[in-house]
Amino acid sequence: MAKFLEGKTSGSALSDIVHLVLNVGFALVAVGLVVLTAVPWPSLLLVVASKWRTFIVRPYFLWLSIRANLVDIIANCSLVLLAWLNLENYIALLAITVLFVLWAAVIKTKNDLVSTKLQAGLSLFLGLSVAVQLCYELPNIVLVAAAGIIGYASARHFLIALDDDDTPIELSALCFGFATAAFAFASSFWQVVFVFGGVAIPALAISVLLVALFASLYLEYLQEESRTERTEVIFSGIFAAIIQIVILVVFSGGITY
């Protein structure tokens, strides 16, 4: 029995190492293809190919399978597109590569509430950042639709991990997706983009992320055995409001990207 347990533990450790190597390799290859080809399509195809198990299900379960993996797909595609958008900014490209490796090897592999919240937040922020940069010359409906899907997927991902029977997951996720789409629609007429180290960060992504942080803390606070303090919820709400007021007042002239 001892030998069996020892073998089982060793096999598990070996499989973890193999899984880690594959995830790190996937992230490096995805960014490497962008650098070598100067186009995002090969890496995006790699992302789709890496999720092959998502699509080989019965048609009835296809949407359920896609929905369950949507946050990971959004994050992977966003990181690929960010690498492409910052192809000539070597420092930013290195930072994106490190983030991609961390996402693939560490962040997305955990399933506790804090990690799930981080996954949802990163997917939301990265997805909106890329959507704004790619859709600014397209009809408004494209950005609105993309933002709605990103908001819905991120909210649903967090709500499932929250596991609160009093919170209707689908309805709440759809409401947040609708709110994100409304933010995107308003911002499409008045787009503010900040540039840090040559990397464009839309105000839309910052604003929605702050709202999501406040909403998530509030939902955590409502749970019976919550460790979230009331002051945390109040502080996050005040902080989000101050940041939004600063964006509206200081950048009231609007900066079109």
pLDDT at 115: 95
pLDDT at 227: 79
* 133 vs 230: CA distance, rounded Å: 36
Residue 56 above 90 pLDDT? no
pLDDT at 252: 56
How does pLDDT run across 234-255, given as a tens digit for each residue? 999 999 999 888 887 776 554 4
Quick check: pTM over 0.75?
yes
Helix (H, G, I), strand (E, B) or coil at 181: helix
Determine contact, residues 254/192, Cβ cutoff 8 Å. yes
* 114 vs 227: CA distance, rounded Å: 12
- At 8, is the pLDDT very low, low, confident or very high (cuts 50, 70, 90)? very low
How does pLDDT run across 134-176, given as a tens digit for each residue? 998 889 999 999 999 999 999 999 999 988 777 789 999 999 9
Helix (H) or strand (E) holding 202: strand 199-202
How does pLDDT run across 186-223, given as a tens digit for each residue? 887 777 888 888 899 999 999 999 999 999 999 988 88
Backbone φ and ψ of 193, nearest 5°: -130, 125
Q: Angle 113-135/203-222 helices, nearest 10 degrees?
A: 160
